[in-house]
Amino acid sequence: QLVYPYDFRLTEKEKTSICYLSFPDSYSGGLGDTQFSFRLRQSGGQRTTHYEDDGEYNREAPLTLQRESAHYFGYVYFRQVKDSSMKRGYFQKSLVLVSRLPYVNLFQSLLQLIAPEYFDKLEPCLEAVCNEIDQWPPPVPGQTLNLPVMGVVIQVRIPSRVDKPGSSPVKQFNQENLLPAPLVLPSIHELDLFRCFQPVLIHVQMLWELMLLGEPIVVMAPSPTVSSEMVLALTSCLAPLRYCCDYRPYFTIHDSEFKEYTTRTQAPPNIVVGVTNPFFIKTLQHWPHILRVGELRMSGDLPKQVKVKKLTKLKTLDTKPGIYTSYKTFLHKDKTLIKRLLKGIQRKRPSEVQSALLRRHLLELTQSFIIPLEHYIASLMPLQRAITPWKNPPQIRPFRQEDFMKTLEHAGPQLTCVLKGDWLGLYRRFFKSPNFDGWYRQRHKEMTQKLEALHLEAICEANIVAWMKDKSEVEIVDLVLKLREKLVRARCQHLPVKEETLQRVGLYIETIIGSLPEDLQTVLHHH
């Protein structure tokens, strides 16, 4: 009905998709208000964003919180109430916030404030809210922001890449005597993992392995809320490793990718997809891993845990909750986590304490797995003394899987993790997954930039006049052009180089040009 701000350009295809994704697609008798999220592939090519600082934000934000370039997130507030004046006997409407940022807690809290007002006062309310949001500062990683909206100040800290993984967000912000007292969100994006994983706590490790390997998973849930929370919880359980596959927290049969995902002529894609329409049980039964969950109910005891069942047990009509898969885990089960969580339930510990336990367990698991890889890749970096000013920097040595495997005997995950099992098999399978590819590219890019930065510093330390003594004009001009190119690259790619180093290289270039005959100087200044 309405897009605000008006100048926000969406293609027709995107509009249609957003409409379908903004409503529950299977009958749920539930009335009242529900909230859920979706993620949507952008259609119609790259559009320029208003964020010129995209690069800067993405360089400083944790990899898991970067701004997406090819997808939108949709955050939905859906209201359904009986209304005899309507043709269907119901008033049904959704207010959707579209963003490239995965700040699920911030945006859902924002909708809780705006949506009830909007359903009441309609467009003028949105106009007022958008005017306030326009005044918000941009998200800068590491900063705590106060965001005023509708008489409330939301206070959040934007996480940064240099935060220590697993450190809890700072509880006590600088209150600055804000009146009214701000609505403090402890985290901008972290879900209540304990609540999301309620029915699968004893299988958390298996789910972690499936996510690590980028396996295709279907989450079948009774509502878009449960489906989107479960999918987002799954994708977050590899942090600080970035989950590099596609994921759809909520997916409907009207989706433009529906055919692509349900075809039987090729293997299912590496994606986690959340669905609620029972029709999917039939169309996706060839997928290798199907997680069927019921309504999430928080109760005082350990909720009924789903069982792992064979895929052949998948009944198209009445599928009971369970994990339908023939997957055998590489690592043995860790009983200590469940014992700790059970103790927490008996002692009536708050859900956020249980979530922190769960998150720390997953973090330690991911770190045990990734630290040996980090050690090995660091050993591929050339020695600093091999970096000389007048030669191109040496190459990073290639990643050899077999060489890496040999390092595991004395420096493997067993140093930091008590879990036994087939770690080697897990690594071998991981090497085939998009998550390894994404991790390796990211590291390789960072190392290449580091090398480039070290090379610039070596040039700065060098005695350029001595080098020029016995060189021909051609060699000197060649050096000027190469240095210039390096300088441009350092600025464009924001290499980790001190500003003074860049300025010194700039001065060097001027010095060298100054020593050349005038006709060449003119040419180089115009070049």
CA-CA distance, 32 to 16, in Å (whole number)? 24
Q: Is the dihedral of CA 484, 494, 243, 166 positive or negative?
A: positive
User: β-pairing, 289-292 with 322-325?
Assistant: antiparallel
Q: What is the SS3 string spanning 418-487?
A: CCCECHHHHHHHHCCCHHHHHHHHHHHHHHHHHHHHHHHHHHHHCCHHHHHCCCCHHHHHHHHHHHHHHH
Q: Which residues face 324 on adjacent strands?
A: 290, 309
Q: Got the DSSP string for 12-75?
A: HHHHHHHHHHTS-SS-----EEEEEEEEEE--SS----S-TTHHHHHHHS-GGGPPPSSEEEEE
Integer CA distances (angstroms), 120 to 19, 115, 124, 364, in order: 21, 9, 10, 47
Q: Which residues face 292 on adjacent strands?
A: 220, 322
Domain boundaries, the chain: 12-139, 195-441, 463-526
Cβ distance 479 to 512 under 8 Å?
A: yes
Of 133, 130, 155, the residue nearest 145 (C-alpha): 155
CA-CA distance, 409 to 187, in Å (whole number)? 39
Tell me the one-letter amino acid at 196: C
**Mean pLDDT per 10-residue section of the chain, whose length is 527 residues:** 85 90 76 90 67 72 88 93 80 91 94 91 86 92 92 91 70 56 88 90 94 96 93 94 94 85 85 90 87 76 80 70 92 88 89 91 94 95 83 89 92 81 94 96 92 86 77 81 85 84 84 80 75
The pLDDT assigned to 80 comes to 86
CA-CA distance, 166 to 183, in Å (whole number)? 23
What values do phi and psi take at 50, rounded to 5? -85, 5
> Considering the entire predicted model, what is its pTM?
0.88
Structure-token match 């890749």, residue found: 377
Tell me the one-letter amino acid at 247: Y
Cβ distance 518 to 472 under 8 Å?
A: no
CA-CA distance, 337 to 361, in Å (whole number)? 7
* Domain boundaries 195-441, corresponding CATH code: 3.40.50.11500
Return the H-helix or E-strand segment holding 291. Answer: strand 289-292
The pLDDT assigned to 48 comes to 55
State both tokens at 95: 């207010």
Coil, strand or helix at 151: coil
State both tokens at 140: 């800068």
